[in-house]
Structure 1
């Protein structure tokens, strides 16, 4: 009996692996920032600038960081899950920026599996059967006078 159960589980796992997905979504970051501010999760004290976007003059660079955030994708729309994971990454950047005395994160870009994708408007998100994830890399900075 145990042998049959083990074989059934192995067969089920193999079938699931064959149908695994990794859909890439490209979405605008400004929607995530707006959602975060509206929900009170981002307070506006730290600004986010994607690589290639117009950025105020940087007076100090305070180090780089990576935020790799995931969310459970079961029963969620991929775009919603992507926004949620991206917002989690921005919240992590905001908290660290405040600790470092930064008021911005510049050169922000997608960094999934260390693959750099730079775009002045969008970020990438990867949606699988169970997990949705966003990885962003950026530089903490002080901008303005």
Structure 2
């Protein structure tokens, strides 16, 4: 009798699983304030202080262009608020851009735009972040330059 009940339950469960539609992953798009990220204490702790950052159309000093670079940073968002996960992903992306600037001999990154899935989003004050149930991500593209001191 027990075997029959277990078999019936297994068949019922299999039928439910096979008949259900696949779950779609959450991918919520946010436009968040860069000023909030820069105000976070982790920003000063992780982003190189010797590098200046200029977003979209912000006026930037002229300098020697050392190349265009893309970052694509992800962070675990499980159990976190989306904005918290996005802040950490943005700090991580800015850290990577800053470290790349230093490695290339530069001291600034200009024309920074969000570049999620290679689609530019340009803003002087906002950045784009995508958050799901498990991962949040920020992608940036910018030009590393060396400007006079």
Q: Deviations over 1:116-144 (max 9, x none)?
A: 11111111000112110000011101224
TM-score calculated relative to the size of structure 1? 0.84
Equivalenced residue count is 139
**Looking at CA atoms only, which structure, 1 or 2, has the larger radius of gyration?**
2
SS at match of 1:136: strand
RMSD of aligned alpha carbons: 2.4
Q: Which runs of 5+ in 2 are unaligned?
A: 1-6
The answer for the alignment partner of 2:136 in structure 1 is: 132
**For 1:42-53, what aligned pairs fall within 5 Å after superposition?**
42-53=47-58
Counterpart-to-counterpart distance in 2, 1:30 and 1:143: 24
**For 1:92-107, what aligned pairs fall within 5 Å after superposition?**
92-107=96-111
Counterpart-to-counterpart distance in 2, 1:33 and 1:24: 20
Q: Which runs of 5+ in 1 are unaligned?
A: none
TM-score calculated relative to the size of structure 2? 0.82
